[in-house]
Amino acid sequence: MLSQPVDPTSIATHTKSSSTSLHPETNESPVSGTFGNLPSILPKKPNKKRRRGKPKTNKWADRCMYAELLEMVTDPSDAWSSSGADGLPADLENGWVALAPVPQVLPPHTILDCVLDNNWKDNGVLHVLDVIKWKGQDVSECESAFRFWWRDTRLGELPPTALPQSHCPKSNDITTYTFPCPTTFLPVPYHIDTTLPSLLTHIVPSVRLPRSVSIVAPSVPSQDMDVDFYCSGQPAQTKEAIIQSDGLLLYVRAASYESGTSPLSSWVPIVSYDGPQRESPLDLLLRRRMAHTSAEGRVGEVQEVDVEMEL
C-alpha cells in the first residue's frame, strides 16, 4: 500500500533515476522514502575472507604405547596375599610377554615403536620395541607375541643399510667414526616363558649383563691415509658394539598395541628411581615372584606366561 497518492509518471521517472544509488548512511535506496520500507535491490558484496579449516588429524600421530612403572611392595615383612597386595599382576604366569635388550631401508607405510640407543652416534643402533604397521599392513590389533615374531621376521628381510658418510675431518687426526643417523634396526630380545625358573636362569641374567652385537661401520683411516681419499669412499668393516640393558619390559601376551601410557605394559628398571641405595626393582620383582610361587606351592613348575623384553 502506498503511503500517499503520487503521479504514476513521476514514479517511473523517479525510480529510473535514483534506484541505482544508495544512501551513504542508511544504505537504502532513495525510493524507500516514497514507497515505504522497500528492500534494497542491490546484492550484498561477498565476504572475501575465507575461514581456515581445522588441520586434518593424522590417525597415526601419537600412537606410541608407554609402559607404566610396575609398583611393588618393598616392605619385606609384607607377606604375599591372594588379594594382589604385592603389586604383581594376578595373571603374570599366563597372561604376559617379556621384552629384553635412520637411513630409509624400511618399506613405505611402516610404523615402528623404537628407542634410540644412548651411544647411537658411536654404534648407529636403533632398538625396535614393537611394530604397529608394516608396508601398509596394520598389525596393532594382533597379540604382542605375534607382533614380536612379525617384527623379527620382517627386520631380518631388510637389505643391508647403505652407510652414510660422516663429516669429513679437516686433518688426519680422526680416531672414530661418528654416525650421522641410526643405521642398525636392532630388535629387542623377547621371552615367551616368564616362569620363575626362566626368570632366574635366563631372563634376569641377560638383563643384568651387557650383550655384544655386530654392527657395520666405515673403517677409520690410518695416519698416513689422505683425508680426501677417505672422504671419497669409506670402506666398511664389521665390529662389535656393547649394548647395556637398563631394565625389563612386561607385556600382556594377548593384548593389542595401545597408544599412550598403558597398563598392558609394565616397566621394571634395574636401578630404582628413588636412588641407588633403594632395593633394585628387578630384585624386588624376583623376591615377590618367589614369595608368590612359594605361597601357592608351585616352585619350579613351568607354565605358559607373559612376554618379557630386555631393554
pLDDT for 149 equals 95
pLDDT digits (tens, 9 = 90+) for 192-204: 998 888 989 999 9
> Of the given ranges (30-44, 45-59, 89-103, 256-270), which has the lowest mean pLDDT?
30-44
CA distance 207 to 58: 36
Spatial separation of the C-alpha atoms in residues 251 and 149, rounded to whole Å: 14
Q: What is the pLDDT of residue 20?
A: 39
> Residue 45 burial by CB count (10 A; 0-12/13-18/19+): exposed, middle or buried?
exposed
- pLDDT, residue 91, reads 80
DSSP classification of residue 259? S
- Give φ, ψ of 173 to 5 degrees: -90, 15
State residue 7's pLDDT score: 53
What pTM was estimated for this model as a whole? 0.64
Residue 106 CB coordination number (10 Å): 16
Instruction: State how far the Cα of 200 lies from the Cα of 180, in Å rounded to an integer.
Output: 39
What gap in Å lies between CA 103 and CA 220, rounded to an integer? 21
pLDDT at 271 exceeding the cut of 80 = yes
31 pLDDT tier (thresholds 50, 70, 90): very low
pLDDT band at 52 (very low <50, low <70, confident <90, very high): low
Q: Which of 2-6, 88-92, 256-260 has the highest mean pLDDT?
A: 256-260
